[in-house]
A and B are shown apart, each in its own frame.
Chain A
Amino acid sequence: MQANGSAITRRHFLQSAAAGVALAGIGAPAFVRGAAPLAHQPLPYAEGALAPVIGAQTVGIHWGRHHKFYVDNLNKLVIGTPFEGQPLDKIVMGTAGKADQQALFNNAGQIWNHDFYWQSLKPGGGGKPPAKLAKKIDEAFGNFDEFRKQFAAMTVSQFGSGWGWLVADGAGKLKVVKTANAEVPMTQGLKPLVTIDVWEHAYYLDYQNKRADYVNALIDKLLNWEFAEKNLG
């Protein structure tokens, strides 16, 4: 009993430590000085799971280097600032639009966007959304095909690095928008439902200059509509 209880406690502690994040300062002497670093969120599927729409090499580099680079940068940049130890969304919203916080915002925004992007996709995704979301889409765009057309056109038209989004506005109406570089829809009072990364690194090894082919394939075959419906709330 004693041994068993102790083992559970110990396992629980190890799991918390492995999760790596919010509580690591408690009972973890190595982190006592500063707050725990922000985590590089694991991929919700294997690197090859999105192939052939997005190749395993693209996912490996995109998640393992680009996404990780932003996490490593931010963990260095926050040290000694008021943002040290704050959750990611607080850093994003606290630095947005502030010229003197640009480096913090760019890295925090890109971590947030990439976390959201990986969850916006799933193997065997795409197709038609579940009933509640489908109704909202029909209300806002007339029908699913019209939504699909507008979402693709908006996303493809982002000039330079950025993101395409399906969002809900303050009144709950769905819209498609685009944001540049690390910008997020929340700063415009919009609630993101799903996103598509159109930085060239997201598709260049697989599609080169053919951004439209990447965007259309992703909408048709990878969008995670359950994630979108969950975000609708």
Chain B
Amino acid sequence: MFTLMALPYANDALAPIITPNTISFHHGKHHKTYVDNLNNLVKGTEFEGQSLEAIVTATAGKADKAPLFNNAAQIWNHDFYWNSLKPNGGGVPAGKVADAINASFGSFDEFKKQMATTTVGQFGSGWGWLVADAAGKLKVVKTGNAEVPMTQGLKPLLTIDVWEHAYYLDYQNKRADYVNAVIDKLLNWDFAAKNLG
């Protein structure tokens, strides 16, 4: 049985950038629905009892497994999203992550610009990511719907959800305002450092 990950903070802790109203639907309804769906879908299949990562990897790119992949990957992405944010986050990272960002983008401002542009530029539902490629170089990428960077050999460090449900109650059509506010005030650079390894 998969369970809905508990939020790593109170549901009003990200306000006013992301309000408790948005989080209550996003975590309590959308994220939970993916968990409930996956539990129903794996019943009686070879995937029952397997880990979330194993299901995501085994079903990625297989048209006949799309419902399993969509729900499993959306659980994985949302788990990763909640961990990518924290109250009083944002700002400029220090240490190893800062070094990797400067080496890869030239400067933190250049990273910020690329992260915002790529994430805002995802057409339709999807995700913006800071990732490390196989050579350890950092990049920003976007994925559509439930797609994950791991299937392209990329290691995710942080993500921003740009399904409209992530920001519509707070920002409506102004996706760029949401993305910039998340980058400036909520990104969890400790989580990114841990993922960089």
Same complex: yes
Binding site for B on A (CB under 8 A): 61, 65-66, 69, 102, 106, 159-162, 180-182, 199-201, 204-205, 208-209
CB of B25 within 8 A of CB of A61, answer no
Q: Bound state CA distance, A66 and B168, in angstroms?
A: 12
Per CB-CB distance, the 7 closest pairs between chain A and chain B, nearest first, are A161-B124, A160-B125, A200-B164, A160-B145, A181-B124, A209-B29, A204-B168
Q: Bound state CA distance, A199 and B124, in angstroms?
A: 8
Q: Bound state CA distance, A106 and B122, in angstroms?
A: 11
Q: Bound state CA distance, A162 and B145, in angstroms?
A: 11
Q: Evaluate whether A200 and B70 lie within 8 angstroms (CB atoms) in the complex, with A160-B125, A161-B124, A180-B124 already known.
A: no
Contact with A along B37-66 (1 / 0, CB 8 A): 000000000000000000000000000001
- Give chain B nearest CB distance to A97 CB in angstroms: 15
CB of A201 within 8 A of CB of B168, answer yes
- Give chain B nearest CB distance to A196 CB in angstroms: 16
B163 within 8 A of partner (CB): yes
CB of B164 within 8 A of CB of A204, answer yes
Q: Bound state CA distance, A162 and B146, in angstroms?
A: 14
Q: Which residues of chain A are near B33, meaning CB under 8 Å?
A: 209
Q: Which residues of chain B are near A160, meaning CB under 8 Å?
A: 124-126, 144-146, 163
Binding site for A on B (CB under 8 A): 25, 29-30, 33, 66, 70, 123-126, 144-146, 163-165, 168-169, 172-173
Beyond known contacts A66-B173, A200-B163: 10 more, CB 8 A cutoff = A159-B66, A160-B124, A161-B125, A162-B124, A181-B124, A182-B124, A199-B164, A201-B164, A205-B169, A209-B25
Q: Bound state CA distance, A102 and B173, in angstroms?
A: 21
Residue of B nearest to A162 (CB): B124
Q: Bound state CA distance, A162 and B42, in angstroms?
A: 26
CB of B25 within 8 A of CB of A208, answer yes
Q: Which residues of chain B are near A102, meaning CB under 8 Å?
A: 123
Contacting residue for B123 out of A181, A204, A205, A209, CB 8 A: A181
Q: Which residues of chain A are near B124, meaning CB under 8 Å?
A: 160-162, 180-182, 199
Which of A160, A182, A204 has most chain B Cβ within 10 Å?
A160
Contacting residue for B145 out of A159, A182, A200, CB 8 A: A159
Q: Bound state CA distance, A17 and B146, in angstroms?
A: 46
CB of B163 within 8 A of CB of A208, answer no
Q: Which residues of chain A are near B25, meaning CB under 8 Å?
A: 208-209
Contacting residue for A65 out of B126, B145, B163, B172, CB 8 A: B172
Q: Evaluate whether A204 and B145 lie within 8 angstroms (CB atoms) in the complex, with A160-B124, A209-B29 already known.
A: no
Contacting residue for B29 out of A61, A182, A201, A208, CB 8 A: A208
CB of B163 within 8 A of CB of A201, answer no
Which of B29, B124, B165 has most chain A Cβ within 10 Å?
B124
CB of A61 within 8 A of CB of B173, answer yes
